[in-house]
Amino acid sequence: MRVLAILLACLLGFGAARAAEPAPSAAPATPAHPPPATKAIGLTVLGTPALAAGFKHFPYVNPDAPKGGEVVLGAIGSYDSFNPFVLRGTPAFGLGSAWVVMPGGSGSGSAIGHVWESLLVAPADEIATGYCHLCADVEVPADRMWVAFDLRPEAKFSDGVPVTSEDVAWTFNTLRDKGRPGFRIAFADVRDVQTEGPHRVVFHFKSNENRELPLILGGMSVLPKHFFAGRDFTKPLVDVPVGSGPYKVAGFELGRSITYQRDPNWWARDLPTAVGTNNFDRVRIEYYRDATVALEAFKAGSIDARSENIAKNWATAYDFPAVKDGRVIRQVIPHHLPTGFQGYAMNTRRDVFKDMRVRAAMAQLFDFQWENKNLFYGAYTRTMSYFSNSDLASSGLPDAAELKLLEPLRADIPPAVFTTPFTLPVTDGSGNMTAQFRAALDLLRQAGWTVKDRRLVNAGGQQMAFTILLDDPSLERPTLPYVQNLQRIGINVQVRTVDPAQYERLTDAFDFDMTMMIYPEGDVPGNELRDYWSCAARDAQGSSNVIGACNKAIDTLITDVITAQDRPALITAARALDRVMLNSWYAVPNWDSRTFRVAWWDKFGHPDKPTREGFNFDLWWVDAAKAKALAAGAR
């Protein structure tokens, strides 16, 4: 669940039944839509796409990047399915869009473009924009009540079967009806889908308020209807999947490794959305028990590249000979992306966390300054917003525009939103938390908890107790000091670390007390917010609403964000929502980084021009001369 939000964002391209049944068909015909709008090669939520018809490639790629070579990447845990679209099973890493060079993850971090593709492709240097890929053009009328995609006749799946409008309609209906709950939430504003011949598909909307909806639909992975016919879509897929993307699954050992082979005859290889990408002939993913083992594999030369998300490792573990003699390159790469939110999320379905004062007390006891100094080598910034590192983050008190949204909702909003700027406790990093302990105990006393015989108990004499669920042993290091602070005031706190597959099962069922959760965000938040924090998602098992939020004010503000008609309105609505979320104390804010720490064996070339995202391994290539020199020098 910690990566579920990331998965859904990737599966939708932007951002983010049990028994076998007959495949759903396209919806019945609907009344004729208004006269066709002007056809275009791309869409954007606000403004106009930067590139015009006839562009040759994205400006940040190397159009002459050589093809060839093999790359080995690492993943953590295991996998048992090639279907990332449903709750059951743990999907294989690399089924999707970017070859995420990561030390952990079970495959949930990437999801479109390698095996399956979408109608639109999101460029790395534009905000909330998509350009036609599977489609040749797209149109949205002036009233924005529908979107139509005209498919490229040459688009084919890897088995040679053409991609048709029936595949698009079937995919939409199947993901909505049988996919992860996030799909139903994302597609909630779609009235129906209609095919108009083999190469045209039209989605009709319930209203025109959701400006992001055409992009969401354009970012949907298009699946082959004929391949899934006769298969139970809700079950894990263990057969080699059929897709329309540049790579095929060439071999695998279920749960241990998977190899992707680039298709030299890929139908889209010369499209402007594909030029300069997908440069590796083969990509092999090797699975490791945990991040420590994966790091040692990288040092031994068994993995070609990785990003490092543990600050201590970056500071102390990259001093091996290959780094010193230049065979391994390590680099800190800045980015300009929103960092979203990471924190210890409290499951408000549990009695212990129903009281907001208890949740606020939990935040008093996390000493970020000490951890950043002693564990993180000063590498991180404190998370202070659900929209960190963006102009959507709130600060100070709400302005007049925000108050227009907040005042009608006052009865369902924490009073502090209107009176007190949101702050988090700050220490001197020495470990002295006297003031923070005092503040926490005061809040807990207000909530009916007192310390007796070194135990924090309620009026009935029951000790406060809960477990923090983690999916990676490396997360224990920053969590244990927090646990010690909680224990010092008499709370019985345990830490439980499980493998990624078990973690996903537990969090999908909301069977946990507290966990470290990541809510990724982009420049233009949209329907994913409903999956994160809406009442509709609260009881939908498998949704990203792990905190159990259900508040009329939050639901209303989410709608305000989604329906914002321009950037100022979006900023106002997002900041108002941010204030309510922060002051509801659903989570203990952690930290974030505005850089990527990346290390690789020196066999690669990459574009000179950086993008907003800083680092995109999908644009790299194997430099034959470097690879030969590296092999000659031995790893």
Unique residue bearing structure tokens 């105990």? 441
pLDDT at residue 36, as a whole number: 55
Which of 347, 377, 405 lies closest to 554, judged by CA? 405
Is the separation of the CB atoms in 150 and 255 below 8 Å? no
The full length of the chain comes to: 635
Return the DSSP state at 585: T
pLDDT at residue 612, as a whole number: 81
pTM of the predicted model as reported, rounded to 2 decimal places: 0.80
Return the DSSP state at 156: B
**Residues pairing with 221 in the sheet:** 118
| Sequence-ordered list of residues with C-beta below 8 angstroms from that of 399, at least 6 positions apart, any chain | 572
Give CA torsion, residues 37, 38, 41, 47, to 10 deg.
-80
Same fold for the pair 248-337+595-633 and 341-592: no
Tell me which amino acid residue 426 is: V
pLDDT at residue 45, as a whole number: 87
**Residues pairing with 139 in the sheet:** 148
**CATH number of the domain located at residue range(s) 89-247 in this protein:** 3.40.190.10
Tell me which amino acid residue 259 is: T
Q: Which fold has domain 341-592?
A: Dipeptide-binding Protein; domain 3 (3.10.105)
Radius of gyration for the chain, computed over Cα atoms and rounded to the nearest angstrom: 25
Q: What is the 3-state secondary structure (H, E, C) of 57-108?
A: CCCCCCCCCCCCCEEEEEEECCCCECCCCCCCCCECCCCCCCCCCCCCCCCC
pLDDT at residue 290, as a whole number: 87
Is the separation of the CB atoms in 122 and 524 below 8 Å? no
CATH superfamily of this structure's domain 248-337+595-633: Periplasmic binding protein-like II (3.40.190.10)
pLDDT at residue 452, as a whole number: 97
| Sequence-ordered list of residues with C-beta below 8 angstroms from that of 405, at least 6 positions apart, any chain | 557, 560, 572, 573, 576
Give CA torsion, residues 377, 379, 384, 389, to 10 deg.
180
pLDDT at residue 177, as a whole number: 97
pLDDT at residue 96, as a whole number: 61
Mean pLDDT per block of 10 residues along the chain (635 residues) reads 43 38 34 64 90 96 97 93 92 69 36 78 91 97 95 98 99 96 91 98 95 94 96 95 96 95 96 96 94 95 93 94 96 90 98 98 98 94 96 97 98 98 96 97 98 97 98 94 98 96 94 96 90 96 96 98 92 98 99 93 92 86 96 76
Domain ranges of the chain: 89-247, 248-337+595-633, 341-592
Buried b (16+ CB within 10 A) or exposed e, 87-101: bbbbbbbbbbbbbbb
Is the separation of the CB atoms in 38 and 142 below 8 Å? no
How far from 248 is each of 120, 271, 511, 631, CA to CA, in Å? 20, 19, 36, 27
d(CA 183, CA 175): 6
Which of 620, 629, 545, 597 lies closest to 68, judged by CA? 620
**Residues pairing with 91 in the sheet:** 81
d(CA 511, CA 507): 6
Q: What are phi and psi of 423, to 5 degrees?
A: -140, 160
Which of 92, 132, 87, 128 lies closest to 110, judged by CA? 92
Is the separation of the CB atoms in 489 and 451 below 8 Å? yes
